[in-house]
Amino acid sequence: MFPFIINGQNKLNKKFNLKSRSIVELKLPFASSVNISNSDSNFIEYNYTTRGEYKNSTFISSNVNKDRVYIEEKLISNSIKFNDKLSIHKNYSTSLNILVPEHIILELYVREAITEIKGDVSKIDVYQNSGEMYLENWNSPGILKTISANIVFSYPKIKILSNSKKQFNCNNSESNNILDITTVSGIIKCITF
């Protein structure tokens, strides 16, 4: 009758202290939502949520190795293997909200999600197959690679280079920072009003 009440959700919160310029690597193959914002400290703090019918099928693993923080979403090894005609319609619903300091280098690997990034980092590399990517007041250099993910900038403050044959309305800033975008079929848009 009310499956959303029965299925519920699981939550995990974790916090790391970073003392120096670090690399944060996020591998989120099952995430449907990723939100990244700046923290006011040297801490990385994240909240991971799984929802619905398969809320117990994934978990998040994290560890620190010298100046690198690894945060990876994984399937539980004994989770149910689907072997029916409807198995292609089984979807995981997970989200990660993470606060990171500005001085980090961020590497993000996502399959299909709505990714929102607010704030800046020292450098960013994003690899996202499909979905949507939203970057607000963006001024961080790096690389964005997508297959079909659409990228929307809100008030970009960076020089944007792209392989896209489609014209996009991003004013090239006088910034020395460059964001290089490679996409197969994604659309790039800028909101500047």
Q: Give the model's pLDDT for residue 20.
A: 72
Q: Give the model's pLDDT for residue 24.
A: 93
Percent of the chain with pLDDT over 70: 83
CA within 13 Å, CB half, 43: 9
Q: Does the structure show a pLDDT above 50 at 3?
A: no
The confidence band for 161, taking pLDDT boundaries of 50, 70 and 90, is confident
pLDDT tens for residues 93-127? 899 999 999 999 999 999 999 999 998 999 999 99
User: Please, which residues bridge with residue 43 across strands?
Assistant: 17
Q: What is the mean pLDDT of residues 153-167?
A: 82
Q: What is the mean pLDDT of residues 128-137?
A: 93
Mark out the alpha helices in the chain (DSSP H runs): 3-7
pLDDT tens for residues 23-76? 999 999 999 999 999 998 888 999 999 887 777 888 899 988 888 899 999 988
pTM to 2 decimal places:
0.85
Summary mean pLDDT of the chain: 84
Taking alpha carbons only, the member of 148, 116, 145, 136 closest to residue 33 is 116
Answer whether 186's CB lies under 8 Å from 149's CB.
Answer: yes
> Phi/psi at 27 (nearest 5 deg)?
-115, 110
Dist CA 188 CA 103 (whole Å): 26
